[in-house]
A = this chain, B = another copy of it.
Amino acid sequence: MVAARENIGVGLMGLGVIGSGVVSVLTGKSDKLALESNRPLILKKILEKDVSKHGSMGLSKGIFTADFEEFLNNPEIEIVIELIGGESPAFDFIKRCIKAGKHVVTANKEVIAKHGYEILQLARDNHVDVRYEASVGGGIPVISPFIDALMVNDIKAILGIVNGTTNYILTSMAQEGLDFDIALEQAQKLGYAEANPENDIGGADAAYKLAILATLAFSTEVKIEDVYYEGISKLEANDFRYSKELGYAIKLLAIAKQTDGFIEVRVHPVFISEDALLAKVDGVFNAIEIEGDLVGKLIFYGRGAGAAPTSSAVMADVVNIASNICHEIKSIPKLPSGETYKIKRMPEVKTRGYIRMRILDQSGVLAQISKVLGDNDISIASVIQKETDLSSNTAEIVIMTHPSKEDAIQKALTDMRRLAAVKEINNYIRVED
């Protein structure tokens, strides 16, 4: 690196939707970037297989390369923006850029969730910075507060709506009474869900983001394998009807909580009080609630995806690094101190719950169910019985439980399924207070 360089060279890997947004900012806001960085930021190279993309952005052909080695060996690139996404080859490229002494800014939640610790350590060893604000919450600043504003707090809990696709679908189901498949189809038509939506609706995307946040919040390396997750595809219109009747909204929450010296880290649909602000976060918006011992509950709300919001976060990271280069400040990433807490495994987690099931409409059935729950140390808070289907002689009931351990609930659900009078257990949804 030449210290007295007149400008800061930037390289971009991946010219998809977000990459194009970043190029727009680099070209359209060059004066502002130069002012904030103290020197002009110049886009030197774009690594992109599809070289035909240069036309639409008004970029010269020479700036493109499909060859990573050429990109890597360009000595003018001091800061690399990685927007390829996915684990491979992004992870490998990031490591090689770091080893070549280049700073890295990435929006890649999968790579950071799976390999963040290794990457940050490698960056420290190579005296370069790695920033990843855009990997969670799009343009909402949710990574930096843990490093800066909240550093004095002991974090008690994180509750996040961190996936816009699922929140859009859940909002449609709640507001329009749609079933899951229809709501998903609508979201796909509007571009809010991908053609293959599994990563979003199955909860994996939220799990990556939660692993990143929990690692920072609790100074504990939370691996993706540590995060329990389930998605939203089992939810039905009836669940929303009951939730409303009971005063709840249904949201897919990413939850990390400190309880008795352990942390629980889980993503699943929850019943959340309709009075909670998180219950009012609708559509594609994200919101992250953070509870600290000093600060109490904070909520950060905004657009968690999209080219412009994500570019805002990416470019703030780039400018911060550029500004440090100009001021000759050697900044290396903070490494969470390691194993502050042990992970509480899912079977040990305690929550209240909602069970919806279809039973034979005859006397004594509720007594059998109560016995199974009681035998598993689960106590009932309330029971609703509404619809009776005369043709099949079955009734749908909803049971709300007091706080119970997950393994007990799973055992009870299995036991209940074995009862002849239980026709179907439609859903089990945890309640978050």
Contact = CB atoms under 8 A, between A and B. Distances in A.
A152 B312 contact: yes
Interface in A39-73: none
A293 B315 CA distance: 13
Interface stretch (A136-144, A362-370, A374-382): A136-144
Which range holds the interface residue count of chain A?
A: 35 or more
Nearest to A139: B295
- Give this chain's copy count: 2
A148 B316 contact: yes
A315 B152 contact: yes
Interface in A275-319: 277, 280-281, 292-303, 306, 308-309, 311-313, 315-316, 319
Contact of A36 (B151, B309, B313): B151
Contact of A296 (B148, B293, B302): B302
A164 to B, nearest CB: 12
A385 interface: no
A368 to B, nearest CB: 43
Main SS at interface, chain A: mixed
A312 to B, nearest CB: 4
A151 B296 contact: no
A289 to B, nearest CB: 9
A22 to B, nearest CB: 10
Interface stretch (A25-33, A82-90, A399-407): A25-33
Contacts of A144: 144, 148-149
A295 B303 contact: yes
Given A280-B277, A301-B277, A296 B139 contact: yes
Contacts of A329: 329
B313 A149 contact: yes
Contacts of A315: 152
Contacts of A179: none
A122 to B, nearest CB: 21
Interface string A1-45: 000000000000000000000000100010011011000000000
A363 to B, nearest CB: 45
A153 interface: yes
Contacts of A29: 152
Interface string A122-150: 00000000000100000111001100111
A414 interface: no
B280 A292 contact: no
A213 to B, nearest CB: 16
A190 to B, nearest CB: 17
24 contacts: A133-B149, A139-B296, A140-B295, A141-B141, A148-B320, A149-B312, A149-B313, A149-B316, A152-B312, A152-B316, A153-B312, A292-B312, A293-B308, A295-B303, A295-B312, A296-B306, A296-B308, A296-B309, A298-B301, A299-B300, A299-B301, A299-B302, A300-B300, A329-B329
Given A32-B154, A299-B301, 7 more contacts: A140-B295, A141-B148, A141-B150, A152-B311, A277-B301, A298-B301, A300-B301
Interface of A: 25, 29, 32-33, 35-36, 133, 139-141, 144-145, 148-154, 277, 280-281, 292-303, 306, 308-309, 311-313, 315-316, 319-320, 329, 337
Query: Which A-B residue pairs are the 5 nearest by beta carbons?
Result: A141-B149, A139-B295, A294-B312, A298-B302, A299-B301
